[in-house]
A and B are shown apart, each in its own frame.
Chain A
Amino acid sequence: AQSVTQLDSQVPVFEEAPVELRCNYSSSVSVYLFWYVQYPNQGLQLLLKYLSGSTLVKGINGFEAEFNKSQTSFHLRKPSVHISDTAEYFCAVSTKTSGSRLTFGEGTQLTVNP
Chain B
Amino acid sequence: EAGVAQSPRYKIIEKRQSVAFWCNPISGHATLYWYQQILGQGPKLLIQFQNNGVVDDSQLPKDRFSAERLKGVDSTLKIQPAKLEDSAVYLCASSIWGHEQFFGPGTRLTVL
Contact = CB atoms under 8 A, between A and B. Distances in A.
Interface of A: 4, 36, 41-46, 49, 90, 92, 96, 99-107
Nearest to A34: B100
B91 A101 contact: no
B72 interface: no
Contact of B99 (A43, A96, A100): A100
Contacts of B103: 36, 43-45
Contact of A106 (B42, B45, B91, B105): B42
Interface residues of B, number: 27
Contact of B31 (A41, A90, A100, A106): A100
Interface stretch (B13-21, B48-56, B78-86): B48-56
Residue from B41, B42, B101, B103 whose CB has the most chain A CB atoms within 10 Å: B42
A99 B55 contact: yes
Contacts, number: 58
Contacts of B106: 42-43
Given A43-B91, A44-B91, A100 B42 contact: no
A49 B102 CA distance: 13
B31 to A, nearest CB: 6
B33 interface: yes
A101 B45 contact: yes
B61 interface: no
Nearest to A6: B42
A113 B71 CA distance: 48
